[in-house]
C-alpha cells in the first residue's frame, strides 16, 4: 500500500516537527515587533534600511542611478541583518509592518514630515516618479514598463525566491521535499527566464533602446539565478538551470553590469562586505 499525504489537524502540529533550515529561528505565524529598539538614523533626507538581497538591490541600484545622472539626492544606508531578526525590532516595524527589507524613510526637508516606504516596487516607483527619472514619457512605453515591473513583483521575484529556498536554504535532510520544491519552482524559474529572454530578443533594454526602471528591477533576481544560489554540494544554480541558453538575457545583464551605478548599487548593505567596509563599500576602496 502506498502512503499518501494527509494534512495535519492543525498546522501548528507541523511547526516543531518540520522546522529547520536557514532562517527557521525567526519564522513565525504572527506579525509585529519582537524587540523594542529604535533604528539608527543619519543626516540625509532619505534613510534606507536594507540588505544586499535582490529586493534590496533594486532600490540601491535606483538610488545610485539617480546620483549618477546628477539628481540632487543623497541617502544613508543601514544594514538590516534578517538572520538575526533586525526586521522585527520595533523601529523597523514602525516603518514596515510586514517586517521585510527594504524599507525606507523620506523626510521632507521643509516640513520635516516623514514618509514611510516599504515593498521594493513601491519604493522604486515613488523615487522614480518623484525625480521624474527612468519612467518613459511615451504612454505606450510607460504601460509596457509597468507591465514588466508588476511581472517582476508578482512572478519573477516570488517564484525565484521559492526556488532559492528549496535549492539553497531548506533543511538538508528533507530530501523528498527539496526534490519536489526544486523541480516545481526550478521549472517555473526556467519559464520566467525564457519569458525575459524572449522579451529581450533584438533589444538592448527591456523597452528597446530606452533604459528604464524595468531594467533596474528585473536585473537583481536574474543575476541571483545566474550567480548566487548553491546546493549543499556547491553546485551553482546557473549551471543547474542551464542559464547559458538565455543568451539575450545574459547579454542584457552584461550590458547593465557596465554601468557604474549598477555596480555600486549591488554592493550596498552587502552580506560579504558589510563588516569590513560598511554599507557603501566603495567609499573605502
Band of pLDDT at residue 38, cut at 50, 70 and 90: very high
Which of these ranges, 9-13, 73-77, 82-86, 130-134, has the smallest mean pLDDT?
Answer: 9-13
Domain ranges for the chain: 139-259
Is pLDDT of 39 > 70? Answer: yes
Is pLDDT of 166 > 90? Answer: yes
Read off the pLDDT of residues 226-260 as tens digits, 9 standing for 90 and up: 999 998 899 999 999 999 999 999 999 999 999 99
CB 43 within 8 A of CB 76: yes
Using CA atoms, how far apart are residues 200 and 194, in angstroms rounded to an integer?
10
> What letters, b where the CB count within 10 A reaches 16 and e where it falls short, cover 257-273?
eebebbebbbbbbbeeb
Read off the pLDDT of residues 6-25 as tens digits, 9 standing for 90 and up: 988 998 888 877 666 676 77
More confident residue, 102 or 22: 102
Neighbours of 215 (CB within 10 A): 25
Architecture field, domain 139-259? Up-down Bundle (1.20)
Is pLDDT of 272 > 80? Answer: yes
Neighbours of 242 (CB within 10 A): 10
pLDDT of residue 26: 77
pLDDT of residue 283: 93
Using CA atoms, how far apart are residues 227 and 243, in angstroms rounded to an integer?
10
Which of these ranges, 1-5, 39-43, 70-74, 274-278, has the smallest mean pLDDT?
Answer: 1-5
Which of these ranges, 10-19, 51-60, 82-91, has the smallest mean pLDDT?
Answer: 10-19
> What letters, b where the CB count within 10 A reaches 16 and e where it falls short, cover 14-50?
eeeeeeebeeeeeeeeeeebeeeeebeeeeebbbbbb
pLDDT of residue 21: 67
Read off the pLDDT of residues 121-138 as tens digits, 9 standing for 90 and up: 999 999 999 999 999 999
Band of pLDDT at residue 282, cut at 50, 70 and 90: very high
CA angle (61, 50, 80) in 5-degree steps: 155
Closest CA to 83 of 161, 21, 35, 25: 25
Is pLDDT of 1 > 70? Answer: no
Residue 39: what are its φ and ψ, rounded to 5°?
A: -95, 150
Read off the pLDDT of residues 173-214 as tens digits, 9 standing for 90 and up: 999 999 999 999 999 999 999 999 999 999 999 999 999 999
What angle in degrees, to the nearest 10, is found between the helix axes of 120-131 and 54-68?
A: 10
Amino acid at each position: 500500500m502506498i502512503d499518501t499525504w494527509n494534512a495535519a489537524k492543525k498546522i501548528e502540529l507541523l511547526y516543531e516537527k518540520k522546522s529547520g533550515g536557514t532562517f527557521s529561528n525567526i519564522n513565525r505565524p504572527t506579525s509585529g515587533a519582537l524587540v523594542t529598539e529604535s533604528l539608527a538614523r543619519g543626516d540625509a533626507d532619505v534613510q534606507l534600511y536594507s540588505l544586499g538581497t535582490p529586493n534590496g538591490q533594486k532600490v540601491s541600484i535606483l538610488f545610485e542611478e539617480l546620483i549618477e545622472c546628477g539628481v540632487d539626492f543623497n541617502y544613508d544606508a543601514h544594514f538590516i541583518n534578517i538572520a538575526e531578526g533586525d526586521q522585527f525590532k520595533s523601529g523597523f516595524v514602525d516603518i514596515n509592518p510586514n517586517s521585510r527589507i527594504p524599507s525606507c524613510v523620506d523626510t521632507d526637508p521643509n516640513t520635516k514630515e516623514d514618509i514611510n516606504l516599504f515593498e521594493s516596487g513601491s519604493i522604486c516607483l515613488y523615487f522614480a516618479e518623484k525625480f521624474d527619472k527612468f519612467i518613459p514619457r511615451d504612454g505606450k512605453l510607460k504601460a509596457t514598463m509597468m507591465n514588466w515591473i508588476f511581472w517582476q513583483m508578482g512572478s519573477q521575484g516570488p517564484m525565484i525566491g521559492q526556488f532559492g529556498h528549496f535549492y539553497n536554504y531548506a533543511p538538508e535532510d528533507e530530501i523528498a521535499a527539496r526534490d519536489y520544491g526544486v523541480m516545481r519552482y526550478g521549472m517555473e524559474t526556467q519559464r520566467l527566464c525564457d519569458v525575459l529572454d524572449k522579451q529581450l530578443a533584438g533589444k538592448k533594454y527591456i523597452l528597446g533602446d530606452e533604459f528604464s526602471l524595468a531594467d533596474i528591477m528585473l536585473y537583481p533576481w536574474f543575476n541571483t539565478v545566474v550567480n548566487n544560489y548553491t546546493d549543499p554540494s556547491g553546485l551553482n544554480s546557473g549551471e543547474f538551470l542551464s542559464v547559458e541558453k538565455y543568451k539575450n538575457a545574459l547579454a542584457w545583464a552584461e550590458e547593465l553590469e557596465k554601468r557604474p551605478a549598477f555596480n555600486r548599487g549591488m554592493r550596498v548593505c552587502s552580506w560579504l562586505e558589510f563588516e569590513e567596509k560598511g554599507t557603501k563599500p566603495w567609499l573605502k576602496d
